[in-house]
A and B are shown apart, each in its own frame.
Chain A
């Protein structure tokens, strides 16, 4: 049995994969595409968060950390969410109009990976940036300890998941999103603008990724290529949970994060190998995943 720290690390990873996978599935359910650029929104979110925090510190606002931290997260979510809306409006919408296959929009989002990484590398530099001093300190429990940064990640994910639940199930926007996901034609007959819903959903998805990046910024170093691995892993989480199912994204994220951490404890570097193999097997045996609808 691995020690408690391994499980906590797995849980922290789970939180991030969960948040990112949730955004990706949300976008997939409305737009019908996998947004391969999701990891780069995570990276950009981390950078925006970094600059928000350091600017606040440099301008001597003297804000307590429990104010500046969530505010910076919100800023990064809003900025990158806006960018996501822009991407959907300028690129994705034009390539998903009738007569196009899925191939071209997939190619476009894949190409945007390079675009955003290049842009980030050119404007922020390629060197690692660290934010380790933002939330110093460790919570000592009797047999193990957790750093406050990791607690922040877990609390953030809980808040996000609860607020997403409320938005999707208790508001009119949420109703529109669910309706458009279920039956776009019928939804538009009832006066829901599917185009606007896809903009909203893209904004929410990218904001989630950005905030996940921001909350992880104190834990991992920030560089333009930090988005690659979380994107692939949240993709795997989606596959485990089932493509197109929001519950699946959450459960898949938890399973994947814990598995990654625990397998790495036993076989170190082979954990990625085991996970990729697992995903291939899942796709071959049960392509719809744990919670997904059968493939059309």
Chain B
């Protein structure tokens, strides 16, 4: 059903280190607002995509991931603007609140799986959007909330100023956030927990007969995804310094799904990063073209083509993996039997 990628054959540690180093020094070469804001937004969407893929690994198809971004964003904005809390506690609370709501929803909803779960999460996402739109007293409706920029931090004589128009601190904080999320999701993916998730997706009945409590692991995946998606939403809100109900609707949930498919669901971290960056960058540049709606057309076409020609959810990340193995590895290691590919790392 899903092939899983062994990271050791995909990217050695040195290459990961070099990549992280490259991303860290990007602001040295360019402080262009457009480039950096594209990278920041891609990173934020990538975190949401990681959450989606984690839920997908338990065999469930969530259609309401953008709603958790909205919850996180609204939580942080309401806490700072309406309740006048300082920025950092409210940012942390946003993730916690989103996670708690995900836990509650998961406990109630994950009893029904499969297509019913998709529809319930869809309905949940729409409910969040409608509430945000019409609870004018708290959320200011479609006018949206405008959170103040995070306060300046003085760190060892260094002034980190989150003022508008200066994307560099936002960029570094995004890198930090993505690094933490990647680390957590990567560890989940390769740990016993990730194996359990995979067993749920591959054969639910067999997993249940092995003594695996389905509900428990589904809820764990859903909650972890909820926490990080909430952080992503809170940070996106503060980066754009606005949140409106229309920013995180059903269509953004579908966009998250599309990013995950293009990147490849076989790898939680790599696929999410590649998919989000490729699609977000593409969409941003396509929207500059004078042809309206071409990004919708191309997004849809790309996803369908990826599904048809890079089948079973391997996506772009596996294309890269094949290339890597072909160039840098011995041929006999490249021709792995099907069983080892299917085996969970």
Contact = CB atoms under 8 A, between A and B. Distances in A.
Interface string B129-157: 01100100000000000000000000000
Contacts of B328: none
B117 to A, nearest CB: 9
Interface in B273-296: 291-296
Contact of A224 (B126, B291, B293, B311): B293
Given A280-B123, A287-B116, A114 B292 contact: no
A63 interface: no
A276 B254 contact: no
Interface stretch (A104-112, A177-185, A190-198, A254-262): A104-112
Contacts of A235: 119, 122
Contact of A118 (B130, B295, B313): B295
Interface string B111-126: 1101110111011101
Nearest to A272: B130
B61 A276 contact: no
B312 interface: yes
Contacts of A100: 1, 311-312
A101 interface: yes
A59 B126 CA distance: 45
A66 interface: no
B287 to A, nearest CB: 12
Interface size on A, as a range, is 35 or more
Interface in A93-140: 94-95, 99-104, 106-108, 110-122, 126
Contacts of B250: 228, 232
A176 interface: no
A261 B154 CA distance: 57
Given A106-B118, A121-B293, A276-B126, A114 B300 contact: yes
A100 B292 CA distance: 35
Contacts of A107: 257-258, 261, 303, 307
B296 A115 contact: yes
A104 B295 contact: no
Nearest to B201: A101
B57 to A, nearest CB: 11
A213 B254 CA distance: 23
B108 interface: yes
Interface residues on B, range: 35 or more
A108 B296 contact: no
A116 B258 CA distance: 15
A101 B118 CA distance: 15
Contact of B294 (A110, A120, A122, A236): A122
B26 to A, nearest CB: 30
A295 interface: yes
A270 interface: yes
B293 A118 contact: yes
Given A101-B2, A118-B294, A113 B300 contact: yes
B126 A232 contact: yes
B126 A118 contact: no
A185 B218 CA distance: 33
Contacts of B298: 118
B120 to A, nearest CB: 5
A128 to B, nearest CB: 14
B89 to A, nearest CB: 31
B312 A99 contact: yes
B293 A126 contact: yes
Contacts of B118: 106
A118 B124 contact: no
Interface string A33-61: 01000000000000000000000000000
A104 B311 CA distance: 9
B296 A104 contact: no
A273 interface: yes
A114 B2 CA distance: 25
Nearest to A239: B119
Interface of B: 1-2, 56, 59, 61, 108-109, 111-112, 114-116, 118-120, 122-124, 126-127, 130-131, 134, 201, 250, 254, 257-258, 261, 291-301, 303-304, 307-308, 311-313
15 contacts: A91-B307, A101-B59, A108-B303, A110-B254, A110-B257, A112-B300, A115-B300, A115-B304, A117-B296, A117-B300, A121-B293, A243-B116, A280-B109, A280-B123, A284-B120
5 interchain residue pairs of minimum CB distance? A115-B300, A118-B297, A118-B296, A121-B293, A111-B303
